[in-house]
């Protein structure tokens, strides 16, 4: 007994104790439960149940109760009342009430959390046919909006947590894996996208927590303004070693491809347009050529660009835990072909997570993962690239073919462009997609080591010292080969460009954590920490042009001209001090305060540190005595409020505050050029976040809901303040902390365990978020910031008083039935008609007099916000015996999309048009239609010359994100070792319900952007994927 005292108490007083013992069983099957924690309430005195479910404890006299807790079961408090033997049956935590949630630098009980945190279980996303887990997060968490820019493999999705939190810096959240902030974004230097997050095998993820308000995120200080996503990888669970195999095979195809004209429709329509414009410059009519074998040329170009891709994915994991060791080993392989030809992604990865309790004070753990990814893609087009596959699929004329007419099998090319097969257009200017697909290559390969090593020392219960060292080392090799036969590198007779890039980062965090309970009711926790982070990126480039023979298709071949690009080199360093204090009284009244002081090397001298912090309070009303009577109806009622100040440092590069010269050459001699006007006063952006929340549960926790209202005010926005170009400042901008913007909205999350029977189980969870974003201040004298797509088309404007990135277009009001001309509306509100072939192109509709030309600068106006004002998801999961099914819906409303592709589909140059143009083009006076009179070379009426409101459409949609159904086989003979085999089928991106006429309203040609969201300009469509899979658990 004395021995037990020494072992289990740190107390200096030898008090009188009583021995209590008992057995803990599970209510589900009556079997004993090992590893259950039994603690004397209000103390740190405790024990664990053994394999037989039994425990023995020396309990101080006058103790009130014993608390029994274990993961997956409801925590149970048993009053002692003088007994020596207490047996307990634990109920399974059907409704996940006593879940432990990962928070910043620690964990907390779900109902003790005072901040706004959304949790997504790894199980929900592990089987989705995606390349990275963030592609499966849509609609899973309130306040989190995820957009897939297009269906090209591994294109990083755009993630927004509670709106847009920056204008010039990034609005994407900080991603922390097992305590280490990792690199995010597209790692590829060429056309083959490589999402940094794809290096994490979704099957390895245990849970994801999205920290949203200041209380939850402030401890990440200067990187927290756009939210934080914590990823925790799996650990071995106690019990026998568990082996699993998960595999699936699938097919993916694009959907909603444009319906364009065939060759006969094309020549009929274009010759009509030519007849309508005598000055077209085309000497004769278009015709359908015939090849040497007598076949008419009628090409469906999308057949040469898209395909049905095959995908397969395999993952094996081995995990388990003994008394002192827990391990999780997983190996994964995925090989996916995309919906675009020559697009593929292949990844091999392995992970080993080990926790080892060295002795009663020290434990160590290691999470090591290695991943090798290989991404290959054709040029899928960044809006206006002439090589862009998505655009070539619908812009090219159907009366041109990919191969020469003479039947020789050679490509139909004319210099860099597609050959004209004798048509009246001298030079089509666009490339032959079959030739460039066959001959060009863009690949990216990366190797990544993501590891964290940590040691925890607990000298006595309650005080923990933890040191964590994390590594995120990536090596990326980009290979680009463009042929000299045709296409982009025709002029230089071929181009091979290789880049080797090594972004490396180490993070070292030391924390001291102390938890104590005083007088059984005062629970106090204190955390203090120091963190250092060092990031470097070194890249170098080799480039060769003028290949010596078409035989060579690699950088390593024989080329005439070799050169070295400059590559890049940066280093930066972070030093932070942080702390957190949380306190609750009897789990009824909660108070938490956090603070962080961050220093960053990229800021100027004397300016390097910033302070951030947050505080929150929570009142658990349901624990009050006056609420006890309601407990049968309302089993949980908590009111929370939080406020804090966090920062965004993504807009400050490693050397942003300095004035710099960079080196170059003048002919063959070295030169120095002034190339950066830094700002020594530059600070990071900061936002004040305010959150009010109400969490409640009805019907004994069967229905759990959270309602939050948030208001984020971002000030000190770093804006590249435009300068007059005549001042000659590099980039014509100087960065300064100038602007302000706010995001506000409601979040509503409900999880309902509708039916939890032994055979039938049905759970619904739905979330709904609203968002209002408004820019309240820009730099003095700057009334607007213009957003440009592809460097060529001005599509958005950011102005004070409107949401960020508003679509900007000239208003049009359809087509004038009398003349067939597009009706434009000028700044004064007058209707102006456009006639491309006339001498006076612009005339007043009222009287036909000459009008001044319409320009975007003069007559454009705010045409719709691309930020959804209402969005969310609805998940339904059903199991009936061995069957299971799940349906995930996502929806997004209250936003507009600029359908720039539609402008291209109606362009009256030689470009192919949609069938709608062929059928509905205005031909006779009085005809009411939305397609104007076809006039050859007219690129104004359709919206190519500048954006028109005709092409701004509502994007509201409801998507069936995934639908899956499966059947589990159990009861296998023991000799096989198989516990369960589940087979399933799944549809991903199954259906879209929308009025949007483009391929998909969920689109972003400009990717992760603040100033130009909501643009659909020649983007590749999205893909639907069908998979069949099998999960085997041994």
Partner 1 sequence: MIKMKNTYKISLILFLTLLVGACSKDDLTLAPQTALGEPNAFDTKERIVGQVNGLYASVKNGGFLGGRYYVYNDIREENFIPKSTNLVTNYATWNHTVIGSTNEVQNLWGFVYASVNAINLFLTGLDANYASGKLATVGVSDAEYNQYKGEALALRGICYFSLLQLYAQPYNKDNGASPGLPLRLLAEKTAANNDLARSSVAETYAQILSDLNAAEPLLATNNGSALLNVTRLHKNSVAAYKTRVYLHMSNWASVKSEAAKIVSATAPFTAPSGVAFRLNTTFAGIWATPYTSTESVFSMPFTSTNLPGTQNGLAHYHHPSSSESYFLNKEPGTAYAMLVAADARKVLFQTGTVSGNTEYFVGKWQNYTVQADYAPVIRYAEVLLNYAEAIAKSDGLTQQAVDLLNAVRTRSFPAGTYTLASFADVSAFLTAVMNERSMEFLGEGIRNMDILRTYQTIPGKQSIPAVPTTSKSYIWPIPDSEISTNKLMTVN
**Binder to partner 1 among 253, 414, 504, 819 (CB under 8 A)?**
414
Q: Is 660 a binder of partner 1 (CB under 8 A)?
A: yes
Say which DSSP state 53 is in: S
Report d(CA 63, CA 79) in Å as an integer. 9
| Nearest distance in Å: CB 18, partner 1 | 22
Candidates 91-99, 414-422, 705-713, 893-901: pick the segment binding partner 1 (CB under 8 A). Answer: 414-422
Contact 694, 641 (CB under 8 A): no
- Interaction pattern, residues 512-531, with partner 1; x per rule: CB under 8 A: x-----------------x-
State which residue, 669 or 975, has the beta carbon closest to partner 1. 669
| Nearest distance in Å: CB 728, partner 1 | 3
State which residue, 339 or 495, has the beta carbon closest to partner 1. 495
Report d(CA 141, CA 710) in Å as an integer. 15
Report d(CA 344, CA 349) in Å as an integer. 17
**Binder to partner 1 among 722, 746, 842, 979 (CB under 8 A)?**
722
Contact 622, 630 (CB under 8 A): yes
> DSSP letters of 140-182?
SSTTEEEE---SSTTPPPEEEESS---SSS--SPEEEETTEE-
| Nearest distance in Å: CB 717, partner 1 | 15
Question: Token pair 């949007």 is at which residue?
Answer: 996
Q: Is 727 a binder of partner 1 (CB under 8 A)?
A: yes
| Nearest distance in Å: CB 775, partner 1 | 17
Contact 174, 472 (CB under 8 A): no
Candidates 185-193, 375-383, 397-405, 489-497: pick the segment binding partner 1 (CB under 8 A). Answer: 489-497
Site for partner 1, residues 744 to 783, rule: CB under 8 A = 781
| Nearest distance in Å: CB 168, partner 1 | 15
State which residue, 634 or 838, has the beta carbon closest to partner 1. 838
| Nearest distance in Å: CB 729, partner 1 | 6
**669 DSSP β-pair partners:** 666
State which residue, 721 or 992, has the beta carbon closest to partner 1. 721
State which residue, 122 or 289, has the beta carbon closest to partner 1. 289
Handedness of CA 419, 423, 428, 431 (dihedral sign): negative
**Binder to partner 1 among 119, 312, 515, 654 (CB under 8 A)?**
654
Site for partner 1, residues 563 to 582, rule: CB under 8 A = 563, 566, 568-573, 575
State which residue, 179 or 332, has the beta carbon closest to partner 1. 179
Least Cα distance to 146 among 118, 127, 123, 167 occurs for 118
| Nearest distance in Å: CB 422, partner 1 | 9
**569 DSSP β-pair partners:** 538
| Nearest distance in Å: CB 561, partner 1 | 5
| Nearest distance in Å: CB 201, partner 1 | 33
Q: Is 550 a binder of partner 1 (CB under 8 A)?
A: no
State which residue, 84 or 663, has the beta carbon closest to partner 1. 663
SS3 of 257-287: CCCECCHHHHHHHHHHHHHCCCCCCCCCCCC
Phi-psi region of 72 (alpha: psi -120 to 50; beta: other; left: phi over 0): left
| Nearest distance in Å: CB 481, partner 1 | 17
Residues 6+ away with beta carbon under 8 Å from 975: none
State which residue, 2 or 518, has the beta carbon closest to partner 1. 2
Residues 6+ away with beta carbon under 8 Å from 730: 674, 675, 676, 677
Q: Is 723 a binder of partner 1 (CB under 8 A)?
A: yes
**Binder to partner 1 among 7, 292, 491, 1028 (CB under 8 A)?**
491
Handedness of CA 943, 944, 946, 951 (dihedral sign): positive
Which two tokens mark 499? Answer: 């880049």
**Binder to partner 1 among 79, 407, 415, 848 (CB under 8 A)?**
415
Least Cα distance to 467 among 530, 535, 527 occurs for 530
Report d(CA 106, CA 354) in Å as an integer. 18
Site for partner 1, residues 790 to 849, rule: CB under 8 A = 792, 794
| Nearest distance in Å: CB 257, partner 1 | 27
Q: Is 668 a binder of partner 1 (CB under 8 A)?
A: yes
Report d(CA 798, CA 1010) in Å as an integer. 10
Site for partner 1, residues 897 to 926, rule: CB under 8 A = 909
State which residue, 310 or 460, has the beta carbon closest to partner 1. 460
Q: Is 601 a binder of partner 1 (CB under 8 A)?
A: yes
**Binder to partner 1 among 27, 64, 107, 561 (CB under 8 A)?**
561
Q: Is 606 a binder of partner 1 (CB under 8 A)?
A: no
Half-sphere exposure of 339 (CA within 13 A, CB side): 21
Least Cα distance to 207 among 75, 330, 346, 102 occurs for 102
| Nearest distance in Å: CB 939, partner 1 | 10
Say which DSSP state 238 is in: B
| Nearest distance in Å: CB 667, partner 1 | 3
| Nearest distance in Å: CB 108, partner 1 | 23
Which two tokens mark 710? Answer: 């948030």
Candidates 726-734, 745-753, 869-877, 1015-1023: pick the segment binding partner 1 (CB under 8 A). Answer: 726-734
**Binder to partner 1 among 97, 249, 272, 463 (CB under 8 A)?**
463
Site for partner 1, residues 529 to 548, rule: CB under 8 A = 530, 532, 534, 545-546
**Binder to partner 1 among 12, 31, 518, 975 (CB under 8 A)?**
12
Q: Which residues of 81-105 are buried (b: 16+ CB within 10 A; e: fewer)?
A: eeeeebebebeebbbbbbbebbbbb
In angstroms, the first-to-last Cα distance of the chain is: 43
Q: Is 730 a binder of partner 1 (CB under 8 A)?
A: yes
Q: How many CB atoms lie within 10 A of CB 368?
A: 15
| Nearest distance in Å: CB 734, partner 1 | 5
Q: Is 985 a binder of partner 1 (CB under 8 A)?
A: no
State which residue, 388 or 998, has the beta carbon closest to partner 1. 388
Q: Is 607 a binder of partner 1 (CB under 8 A)?
A: no
| Nearest distance in Å: CB 720, partner 1 | 10
Q: How many CB atoms lie within 10 A of CB 420?
A: 17
Q: Is 662 a binder of partner 1 (CB under 8 A)?
A: yes
State which residue, 277 or 446, has the beta carbon closest to partner 1. 277
Least Cα distance to 128 among 1029, 966, 762 occurs for 1029
Residues 6+ away with beta carbon under 8 Å from 869: 770, 771, 772, 893, 894, 895
Site for partner 1, residues 297 to 326, rule: CB under 8 A = none
Q: Is 294 a binder of partner 1 (CB under 8 A)?
A: no
**Binder to partner 1 among 71, 87, 460, 882 (CB under 8 A)?**
460
Residues 6+ away with beta carbon under 8 Å from 431: 386, 387, 392, 416, 417, 418, 486, 487, 488
| Nearest distance in Å: CB 839, partner 1 | 10
**370 DSSP β-pair partners:** 350, 449
Report d(CA 214, CA 309) in Å as an integer. 44
Site for partner 1, residues 351 to 390, rule: CB under 8 A = 361
CA distances from 756 to 333, 706, 764, 878, 879 (A): 36, 21, 12, 10, 10
Q: Is 241 a binder of partner 1 (CB under 8 A)?
A: no
Q: How many CB atoms lie within 10 A of CB 450?
A: 24
Report d(CA 638, CA 104) in Å as an integer. 21
**Binder to partner 1 among 457, 516, 581, 755 (CB under 8 A)?**
457
**Binder to partner 1 among 239, 407, 459, 814 (CB under 8 A)?**
459
């Amino acid at each position: 007994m004395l021995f037990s005292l020494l072992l289990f108490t740190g107390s200096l007083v030898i008090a009188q104790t009583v021995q209590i013992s008992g057995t803990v069983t599970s209510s589900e099957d009556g079997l004993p439960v090992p590893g259950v924690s039994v603690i004397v309430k209000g103390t740190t005195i405790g024990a664990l149940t053994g394999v037989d479910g039994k425990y023995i404890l020396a309990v101080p006299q006058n103790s009130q109760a014993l608390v029994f807790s274990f993961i997956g079961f409801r925590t149970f408090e048993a009053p002692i009342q003088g007994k020596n033997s207490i047996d307990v049956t634990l109920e399974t935590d059907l409704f996940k009430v006593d879940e432990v949630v990962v928070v910043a630098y620690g964990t907390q009980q779900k109902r003790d959390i005072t901040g706004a945190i959304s949790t997504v279980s790894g199980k929900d996303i592990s089987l989705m046919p995606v390349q990275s887990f963030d592609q499966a997060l849509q609609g899973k968490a309130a306040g989190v909006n995820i957009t897939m820019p297009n269906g090209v493999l591994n294109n990083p999705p755009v993630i927004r947590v509670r709106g847009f939190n920056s204008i010039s810096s990034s609005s994407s959240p900080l991603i922390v894996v097992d305590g280490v902030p990792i690199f995010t974004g597209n790692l590829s230097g060429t056309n083959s996208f490589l999402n940094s997050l794809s290096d994490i095998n979704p099957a390895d993820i245990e849970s994801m927590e999205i920290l949203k308000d200041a209380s939850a995120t402030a401890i990440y200080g200067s990187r927290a303004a756009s939210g934080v996503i914590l990823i925790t990888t799996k650990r071995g669970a106690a019990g026998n070693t568990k082996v699993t195999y998960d595999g699936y095979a699938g097919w993916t195809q694009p959907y909603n491809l444009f319906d364009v004209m065939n060759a006969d429709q094309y020549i009929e329509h274009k010759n009509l347009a030519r007849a309508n414009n005598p000055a077209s410059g085309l000497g004769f009519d278009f015709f359908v050529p015939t090849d040497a074998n007598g076949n008419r040329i009628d090409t469906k170009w999308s057949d040469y660009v898209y395909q049905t891709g095959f995908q397969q994915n395999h993952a094996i994991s081995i995990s388990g835990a003994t008394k002192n060791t827990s391990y999780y080993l997983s190996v994964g392989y995925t090989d996916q072909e995309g919906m675009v030809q020559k697009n593929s992604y292949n990844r091999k990865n392995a992970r080993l997570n080990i926790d080892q309790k060295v002795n009663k004070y020290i434990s160590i753990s290691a999470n090591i993962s290695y991943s090798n990814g290989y991404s290959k893609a054709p040029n899928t087009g960044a809006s206006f690239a002439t090589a862009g596959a998505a655009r070539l699929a619908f812009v090219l004329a159907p009366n041109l073919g990919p191969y020469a007419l003479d039947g020789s099998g050679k490509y139909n090319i004319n210099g860099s462009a597609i050959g004209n097969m004798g048509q009246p257009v001298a030079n089509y200017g666009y490339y032959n997609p079959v030739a460039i697909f066959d001959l060009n290559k863009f690949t990216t390969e990366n190797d990544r080591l993501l590891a964290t090593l940590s040691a925890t020392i607990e000298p006595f219960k309650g005080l923990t010292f933890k040191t964590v060292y994390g590594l995120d080392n990536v090596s990326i090799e980009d290979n680009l080969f463009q042929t000299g036969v045709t296409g982009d590198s025709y002029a230089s007779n071929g181009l091979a460009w290789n880049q080797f890039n090594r972004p490396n980062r180490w993070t070292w965090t030391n924390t001291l954590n102390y938890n104590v309970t005083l007088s059984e009711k005062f629970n106090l926790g204190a955390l203090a920490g120091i963190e250092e982070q060092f990031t470097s990126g070194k890249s170098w480039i080799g480039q060769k042009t003028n290949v010596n023979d078409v035989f060579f298709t690699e950088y390593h071949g024989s080329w005439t001209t070799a050169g070295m690009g400059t590559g890049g080199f940066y280093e930066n360093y972070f030093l932070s001090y942080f702390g957190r204090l949380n306190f609750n009284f009897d789990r009824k009244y909660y108070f938490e305060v956090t603070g962080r002081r961050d220093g960053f090397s990229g800021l100027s001298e004397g300016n390097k540190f910033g302070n951030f912090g947050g505080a929150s309070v929570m009142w658990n009303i349901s624990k009050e005595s006056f609420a006890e009577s309601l407990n049968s109806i309302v089993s949980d009622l908590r009111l929370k409020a939080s406020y804090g100040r966090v920062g965004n440092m993504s807009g400050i590069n490693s050397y942003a505050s300095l004035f710099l010269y960079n080196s170059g050459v003048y002919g063959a001699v070295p030169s120095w050029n002034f190339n950066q006007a830094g700002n020594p006063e530059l600070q990071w952006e900061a936002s004040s976040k305010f959150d009010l929340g109400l969490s409640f549960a009805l019907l004994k926790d069967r229905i759990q809901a959270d309602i939050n209202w948030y208001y984020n005010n971002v000030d000190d926005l770093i804006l590249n303040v435009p300068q007059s170009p005549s001042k000659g400042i590099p980039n014509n901008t100087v960065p300064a902390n100038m602007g302000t913007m706010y995001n506000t909205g409601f979040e509503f999350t409900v999880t309902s365990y509708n039916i939890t029977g032994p055979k039938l189980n049905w759970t619904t969870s739905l979330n709904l978020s609203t968002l209002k974003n408004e820019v309240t201040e820009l730099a003095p004298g700057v009334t607007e910031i213009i957003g440009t797509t592809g460097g060529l088309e001005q599509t958005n404007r950011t102005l004070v008083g409107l949401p960020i990135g508003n679509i900007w277009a000239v208003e049009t009001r359809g087509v004038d039935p009398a003349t067939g001309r597009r009706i434009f509306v000028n700044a004064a509100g007058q209707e102006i008609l456009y006639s491309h072939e006339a001498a006076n192109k612009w005339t007043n509709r009222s009287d036909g007099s000459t009008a001044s030309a319409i320009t975007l600068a003069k007559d454009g106006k705010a045409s719709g916000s691309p930020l959804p004002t209402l969005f969310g998801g609805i998940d339904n999961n059903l199991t009936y015996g061995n069957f299971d099914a799940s349906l995930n819906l996502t929806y997004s409303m209250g936003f507009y999309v600029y359908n720039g592709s539609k402008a291209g589909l109606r362009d009256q140059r030689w470009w192919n048009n949609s069938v709608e143009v062929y059928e509905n083009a205005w031909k006779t006076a009085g005809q009411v239609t939305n397609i104007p009179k076809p006039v050859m070379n007219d690129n104004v009426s359709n919206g190519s010359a500048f954006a028109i409101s005709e092409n701004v459409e509502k994007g509201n949609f409801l998507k069936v994100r995934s639908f899956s159904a499966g059947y589990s086989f159990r009861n296998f003979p023991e000799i096989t070792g198989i516990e369960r085999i589940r087979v399933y089928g799944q549809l991903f991106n199954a259906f879209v319900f929308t009025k949007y006429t483009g391929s998909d309203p969920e689109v972003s040609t400009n990717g992760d952007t603040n100033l130009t969201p909501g643009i659909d300009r020649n983007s590749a469509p999205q893909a639907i994927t069908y998979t069949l899979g099998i999960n085997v658990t041994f």
